[in-house]
A and B are shown apart, each in its own frame.
Chain A
Amino acid sequence: MNPLAVFDIFLLEALLSGVLLGGVLALLSLGLNLVFGVIDVVWICYAELIMLGMYGMYYLYTVYHAPIWVAAVACIVSVGILGVLLHVLVIAPLLGAAPINQLLATGGVLFFLQSAATVLFGIEFKNLGLRLPVLKVGGMFVSYSRLLAFAAALIGMVLVYLWLTRTYTGTAIRAIHPFVGLSFGPITFLICVLGSLGNFVGGFVAAFVFAEIISVGGLYLDLEWGYVFAFAFFIVMMFIRPQGLMARRS
């Protein structure tokens, strides 16, 4: 007998996949939060950099057969360099300008990177071809890759928390598409704001809350409704607690 059968197995699976999605989102919003927290600049194109990292992984690992660790390190380093370039070329001239100009300029970079990816890499999904097993726990299916991302997020958070490095690449995500940036971008952004800018723990909590809403909402209705609830939750939270989830009331 399945010991978990007393609970609704689908709900449990949705909850669990929410936790794992939360891990991915937390990892994504971690770096963004860092940019926010340290230089107070709104990088709307942040998710596109991650997307480039993913493409880098795909080409190095699947097409050029580089060892996976070499590919991962090379991607993290080159995305880091891209970030520096972006800062010097686009952000630095605008540091004194209105925040909204920085947002729009990085928005321009977003359009640029996204369409560059469409032009260069095409619009088909690329697959890393990493055959990671799907775990079966008590009748529930758990994607190993998300588990990895979850672990990476935890480790990444601890590392950043200890002020060691910035973690950019969500290497454990196996499929990549030019619109990955667009689908994750706004959400990571909202998560950072929801969890108070520059507050890593807040961002982490917000990522999980968001992911649970998307995942559980998507279970009962369509996935789209999950997003609707998540966005609506964001709007309402902005009204109730504009300083973010974890902010102390002043």
Chain B
Amino acid sequence: MRRAHPWIGGAALVALPFVYRSPYPLHILVIILIWSFAYTSWSVMGRFGLVSLGHGGFMGIGAYVTALAWNYGHVSPWLGVPLALVAGMVLAAVVAYPCFRFRITGHYFALVTLALSGIVLQVITATRDYTGGSLGYTPERYHGGSSLWALQFSEKTTWYLIALAVWAGGLYVWYRVDRSMLRYALEAISEDEDAAAATGIHVTAEKLKITVLSAGMTALAGALYCQYQMFISPDTVSGISVSLQMVFAVVVGGIYVSLGPTIGAVITILLAEVLRISFGTRAVGWDNLVYGVLLVLFIVFLPKGIVGSLLDLRRRVGWSSS
């Protein structure tokens, strides 16, 4: 099963826009893929008990650095996106290193990172002369919004394939981490830091590695979101609520399985869309209302999320298709 299914599924996903090219569903799919990638990036570290609420900050950095470099420095996103990645990773390292060095763990770590995403949101809002503040920001269009140099494409299919590739890359990273020594080191650390250190694991370095990796991926998700939507605002790409949104979607989907974050993104985004379409403007607030109830139910009854619980069920019932 591990061998064939991903390739068949992947081929079907690549073929999809050539068979079916209705713009609205395609747009929803692109959005789902971008957020799936962001959620996967979060779960790369979140699954080891490193619950970060700072990922909204990294995503905001990714989006705003790319857009600001383009508008002010006329730096092509081909350079701007790597720049944004580096910025996100540096920020992550600057905050995470002292955290790990001084043994700030559990909900204290969550709170420090929460303050971090608060800072990013407030800085973006405060520097409104450059970033447009809470009114949002738009990268300048180049050649009518369709140019490889500016990484702007008017064709939805192009974006779909880019997002698909990045998402698949995210899953690949998840898989590689899952198969690495790093995973065993981090699992040992999340069980007991002292014991892990005693067995010769360099606790600070291992945690820092995964945090910087995860932050870089999240910044990439932000940059991608910015290039696709061509509009970013501090509330949609940064801040505490975006961080919480990531955690919630991952918990709903399943934190310990590779496709969990993706399923979480599918469920939460479809839910929001269905509510928006069926209730129109009256839907303001309803999606979060349902999220909230779902989240509480999931944590109380299905702490492993949908995918994790289904896998458990399959194991218990005893079908194994592999």
Residues of A within 8 A of B286 (CB): 115, 119
Tell whether A104 pairs with B299 under 8 Å between CB atoms, given A186-B114, A238-B108, A238-B112. yes
Q: Confirm or deny: B293 has a beta carbon within 8 angstroms of a beta carbon on chain A.
A: yes
Report whether B122 and A227 are in contact in the complex, using a CB–CB cutoff of 8 Å: yes
Report whether A108 and B289 are in contact in the complex, using a CB–CB cutoff of 8 Å: no
Report whether B296 and A112 are in contact in the complex, using a CB–CB cutoff of 8 Å: yes
**Chain B interface secondary structure, helix, strand, loop or mixed?**
helix
Query: What distance in Å separates the Cβ of A243 from its nearest Cβ neighbour in chain B?
Result: 10
Report whether A190 and B111 are in contact in the complex, using a CB–CB cutoff of 8 Å: yes
Report whether B115 and A234 are in contact in the complex, using a CB–CB cutoff of 8 Å: yes
Select A108's contact among B95, B240, B248, beta carbons within 8 Å. Answer: B248
Report whether A190 and B115 are in contact in the complex, using a CB–CB cutoff of 8 Å: yes
Report whether B102 and A94 are in contact in the complex, using a CB–CB cutoff of 8 Å: no
Query: What distance in Å separates the Cβ of A234 from its nearest Cβ neighbour in chain B?
Result: 5
| Surface stretch bound by B, among A27-35, A68-76, A95-103 | A95-103
Q: Confirm or deny: B295 has a beta carbon within 8 angstroms of a beta carbon on chain A.
A: yes
Report whether A235 and B292 are in contact in the complex, using a CB–CB cutoff of 8 Å: no
Report whether A239 and B102 are in contact in the complex, using a CB–CB cutoff of 8 Å: yes
Q: Confirm or deny: B273 has a beta carbon within 8 angstroms of a beta carbon on chain A.
A: no
Residues of B within 8 A of A118 (CB): 284-285, 288
Residues of A within 8 A of B291 (CB): 108, 111-112, 115
Q: Confirm or deny: A80 has a beta carbon within 8 angstroms of a beta carbon on chain B.
A: no
Q: Confirm or deny: B126 has a beta carbon within 8 angstroms of a beta carbon on chain A.
A: yes
Q: Confirm or deny: A189 has a beta carbon within 8 angstroms of a beta carbon on chain B.
A: yes
Distance A19 CA – B95 CA, assembled complex (angstroms):
30
Report whether A242 and B108 are in contact in the complex, using a CB–CB cutoff of 8 Å: yes
Total inter-chain residue pairs, C-beta < 8 Å: 140
CB closest residue in chain A, given B124: A224
Interface centre among A103, A118, A234, A235, by most B CB within 10 Å? A235
Proximity string of chain B (227-250) to chain A, C-beta cutoff 8 Å, 1 when within and 0 when not? 000000000000011001001100
**Chain A interface secondary structure, helix, strand, loop or mixed?**
helix
CB closest residue in chain A, given B106: A99
Report whether B122 and A108 are in contact in the complex, using a CB–CB cutoff of 8 Å: no
Proximity string of chain A (54-66) to chain B, C-beta cutoff 8 Å, 1 when within and 0 when not? 0000000000000
Report whether A238 and B104 are in contact in the complex, using a CB–CB cutoff of 8 Å: yes
Residues of A within 8 A of B110 (CB): 100, 103
List residues of A (96-135) whose CB comes within 8 Å of B's CBs: 97-101, 103-105, 107-119, 123
Residues of B within 8 A of A235 (CB): 95, 112, 115-116, 119
Distance A231 CA – B123 CA, assembled complex (angstroms):
11
Q: Confirm or deny: A225 has a beta carbon within 8 angstroms of a beta carbon on chain B.
A: yes
Q: Confirm or deny: A90 has a beta carbon within 8 angstroms of a beta carbon on chain B.
A: yes
List residues of A (187-237) whose CB comes within 8 Å of B's CBs: 189-190, 193, 221-222, 224-225, 227-228, 231-232, 234-235
Report whether B119 and A107 are in contact in the complex, using a CB–CB cutoff of 8 Å: no
Tell whether A111 pairs with B125 under 8 Å between CB atoms, given A104-B247, A232-B119, A239-B102. no
Select A189's contact among B111, B125, B244, B300, beta carbons within 8 Å. Answer: B111
Report whether A115 and B112 are in contact in the complex, using a CB–CB cutoff of 8 Å: no
List residues of B (290-304) whose CB comes within 8 Å of A's CBs: 291-296, 298-300, 303
Report whether A193 and B126 are in contact in the complex, using a CB–CB cutoff of 8 Å: no
Pick 25 A–B contacts, CB within 8 A, sort by A: A42-B107, A100-B51, A101-B299, A103-B110, A104-B251, A108-B294, A108-B295, A108-B298, A108-B299, A111-B248, A111-B295, A114-B288, A116-B289, A118-B284, A182-B241, A186-B240, A189-B114, A190-B115, A221-B126, A224-B126, A225-B122, A225-B126, A231-B118, A234-B112, A235-B116
The 5 closest A-B pairs by CB, nearest first: A112-B292, A108-B295, A118-B285, A111-B292, A224-B126
